[in-house]
A and B are shown apart, each in its own frame.
Chain A
Amino acid sequence: MKEKRNIPKQTGFKVPDNYFEDFKVDFSRNEVENSSTLETIKSSGFKTPENYLEDFKVEIPSAEKKTSKVISINRNKVFTFISTAAAVALFILFIYKEDTIVPEASELSRLAIEDYLEQNEFDFENEIDYKNNANLSDFHSQLNAVDNEAILEYLSNNTDMTFFLNDE
């Protein structure tokens, strides 16, 4: 029986060399363009380096291999003992400082302050009189020295200001 071939006659169309011989359905391309459902997605798309899983080994620290449960508990006990001892030592030191060192330090510092004040001869009896400060009164007199003519001249040069004044 002679094989029938569906080749259109004289359409002018042509195909790339070996197109039909090499033809494969590209599912991934089809999915990209047409799919929007979960059913068509096959995998997560993740990959691993070559032979990663075949060569995978767990690197357990050597200390882990030797450590037994008993040693682990003892280590915890030692750690607890050391931390408790350190806490007690710190507490004793703190109390000692509170009772002895701190009052001594405050006594010394008070004496040092008195010495410093005596040496520098501060005069606390004659306080600075800020109310009758000469500089401040000078400032007031300068302000009052501006005469009325100068003010009127300023206002005439600034029409907006005179507008408001006249409006009143």
Chain B
Amino acid sequence: MATRQEEDILVAQLQKGERKEEAFSKLVTLYKERLYWHVRNMVKNHEDANDVLQNTFIKIFRYINNFKGDSKLYSWMYRIATNESITFINKKAKRLQLSSQEMQDYLVNNLESDVYFEGDKIQLALHKALAKLPEKQRQVFNMKYFQDLKYKEIAEILEVSEGACKSNYHHATKKIEEYLKEA
């Protein structure tokens, strides 16, 4: 992850339009992997993750002038990626005429035949357990458990308090443990 100083330079270049494409290319290189895994954990499927990631970077490029520096650049980008993923899933659910819960089940059930999923039985069970969680708990769990983000970072991305993140993570792990014991 870039330092605050590096971020400031990149943002300045992007906002002023000087060497904008070069700065953007650097931004993509710096964050593509982190944002990819963040999106992938939400949409599950690789092709969908690629679409969402493309849209996320296009939005970042388009709206970089709206970034005021109140938060860190990475948390602003994570927020865009989160919103893009949620919007993508909601649109897909609407197209397939599925409820929010049915959509989560649908995404997880497709993992078994996904060539880009190599998880074993227990990893699949974990994803099934995750699909049963409320949206916020699932997001916090994904960021904490799979991406190893700090509570402070998660709180900034989701625009909630650190305490709320800790509470969500605690409840999520309890529910997942119970689900795995029963599975």
Give A contacts to B, CB under 8 Å: 28, 31-32, 35-38, 40-41, 43-49, 52-53, 56-61, 64-65, 68-69
> For residue A57, which residues in chain B have a CB less than 8 angstroms away from its CB?
28
> For residue B111, which residues in chain A have a CB less than 8 angstroms away from its CB?
45
Residue contact B117 to A65, C-beta cutoff 8 Å: no
Q: Is B57 an interface residue (CB 8 A)?
A: yes
Residue contact A35 to B122, C-beta cutoff 8 Å: yes
With A37-B177, A48-B36, A53-B32 already in contact, the answer to whether A32 and B119 are too (CB < 8 A) is: no
Give the docked Cα–Cα distance between A74 and B117 (Å).
Answer: 47
Instruction: Give 19 A-B pairs besides A38-B177, A49-B46, A60-B57 with Cβ atoms closer than 8 angstroms.
Output: A31-B120, A35-B122, A37-B180, A41-B126, A43-B119, A44-B40, A44-B127, A45-B111, A45-B117, A45-B119, A45-B123, A46-B37, A46-B40, A46-B44, A46-B118, A46-B119, A56-B28, A60-B24, A60-B58
Residue contact B54 to A58, C-beta cutoff 8 Å: yes
Interface centre among A28, A40, A43, A56 (most CB of B within 10 A): A56
Interface of A is mostly: loop
With A38-B173, A44-B41, A58-B58 already in contact, the answer to whether A28 and B116 are too (CB < 8 A) is: no
* CB-CB nearest in chain A for B55: A58
Q: Is B88 an interface residue (CB 8 A)?
A: no
> For residue A36, which residues in chain B have a CB less than 8 angstroms away from its CB?
122, 177, 180-181, 183
Residue contact B180 to A64, C-beta cutoff 8 Å: no
With A38-B176, A53-B32, A65-B21 already in contact, the answer to whether A45 and B146 are too (CB < 8 A) is: no
Q: Is B65 an interface residue (CB 8 A)?
A: yes
Identify which of A47, A64, A68 contacts B118 (C-beta below 8 A).
A47
Q: Is B19 an interface residue (CB 8 A)?
A: no
> For residue B126, which residues in chain A have a CB less than 8 angstroms away from its CB?
38, 41, 44
CB proximity to A under 8 Å, residues B49-76 = 50, 53-54, 57-58, 61-62, 65
How far in angstroms is the closest Cβ of chain B from A33? Answer: 9
Residue contact B123 to A41, C-beta cutoff 8 Å: yes
The contact size tier of chain B is: 35 or more
Give the docked Cα–Cα distance between A37 and B50 (Å).
Answer: 31
How far in angstroms is the closest Cβ of chain A from B144? Answer: 11
Give the docked Cα–Cα distance between A53 and B121 (Å).
Answer: 26
Give the docked Cα–Cα distance between A65 and B20 (Å).
Answer: 9
CB proximity to A under 8 Å, residues B129-183 = 145-146, 173, 176-177, 180-181, 183
Give the docked Cα–Cα distance between A52 and B32 (Å).
Answer: 11
Interface residues as binary, B1-44 with A (CB distance below 8 Å gives 1, 0 otherwise): 00000000000000001000100100010001100110011001
Q: Is B124 an interface residue (CB 8 A)?
A: yes
Give the docked Cα–Cα distance between A94 and B154 (Å).
Answer: 55
Give the docked Cα–Cα distance between A65 and B61 (Å).
Answer: 9
